[in-house]
Structure 1
Amino acid sequence: MNSIEKASKSDIEALLDIQVSAFSTDQKLCGSGPPGYDDHEYQLKAMKRYSYYVIKHKSYVVGGFYFSVEQDSLKLLRLFVAPTHQGLGIGTFALDFLLEIARPGTAIELETPTFSTAAQRFYEKNGFRKAKLIDYGSSQSYQYSKSVT
């Protein structure tokens, strides 16, 4: 049984542990994971600045995500699931939650690194389409989008 709850300070250690393991491939490939994935203070700031949620399986934290809402879009800034729980529909469960809370007529947008082919397959399987390639100089990402009906 999965559930989604607003994240709190007491969740930070579990969220950090999950992100360190979930982004270990990123760390091996490019020397780091996403900004603040292993930083306690960064997580606190994200909880204050964004809508930050934990994903639980039974009563255990197995993932999390955070996003911001802009005029015509919901920007999914990060979604992560513990490697031990990947492939069980938990990430899709989180995306379904976002589709339920997003206003009709908006788009859910996100970025994923070009090297992260597993994430690309996941988002495409869930109806997201590549919108554009973003070049950051030292790295590149794909921007994905899905319209909310």
Structure 2
Amino acid sequence: MYAIEKAALDDIEALLDIQISAFSPDRTICGSGPPGYDDYDHQAKALEKYCYYVIRHESEVVGGFYFLQVHKIINLYRLFIAPACQGLGIGTSALDFLKHEASYGTVIELETPTFSVTAHRFYEKNGFQRTAVIEYGASQAYRYCYKHRAI
């Protein structure tokens, strides 16, 4: 069973270690991971600024995510799972948590690099739709959206 709870300063070291390993393929492909994925101060600021959650299996940190909700839009800025735990439904549990937190009519938005085919499949499998291509100088990302609907 996985527990999702608010992250604390004591969790940052474990969350950093997971991000460094989880974003290793990004470093191989484009030379870097997402902003601040390997920086303690960036993570501490994210903890203050965003809704930052840690995912635990028993007492071990296996992933995390953070987002910001403004009115009816939730911007999911980062979702990461330890590579050894990927494919076990943990990321889907995190998205289900977000969907549960969202009220009717709320849109969950995120961006993921165009080269991250595994992430594309994951988000599409979880009901997200690709809505735009974002240009970042020499790189591109896809925007994905999920609109919470009544069941």
- TM-score of the alignment, normalized to the shorter chain, above 0.5: yes
Partner amino acid, structure 2, of 1:57: H
**Identity fraction in percent:** 62
1:66 is matched with 66
**Matches of 1:143 and 1:121, distance apart in 2:** 13
Structure 1: gaps (5+ residues): none
1:17 is matched with 17
**Matches of 2:6 and 2:84, distance apart in 1:** 22
**1:1-149 equivalent positions in 2, closer than 5 A:** 1-149=1-149
Aligned residues: 149
The 4+ residue runs of structure 1 with deviation greater than 4 A are none
How far apart are 1:137 and its partner, in Å?
A: 1.3
How far apart are 1:72 and its partner, in Å?
A: 2.1
Quote the RMSD (CA, aligned, Å): 0.6
TM-score, reference length from structure 2:
0.97
How far apart are 1:139 and its partner, in Å?
A: 0.7
Partner amino acid, structure 1, of 2:89: G
Please state whether the residue corresponding to 1:122 is helix, strand or coil: helix
**Matches of 1:54 and 1:76, distance apart in 2:** 14
Output one character per residue of 1:48-74: Cα deviation in whole Å (capped at 9) or x when no partner.
000000001122100000000012210
Structure 2: gaps (5+ residues): none
Partner amino acid, structure 1, of 2:56: K
**Matches of 2:65 and 2:141, distance apart in 1:** 18
Please state whether the residue corresponding to 2:27 is helix, strand or coil: helix
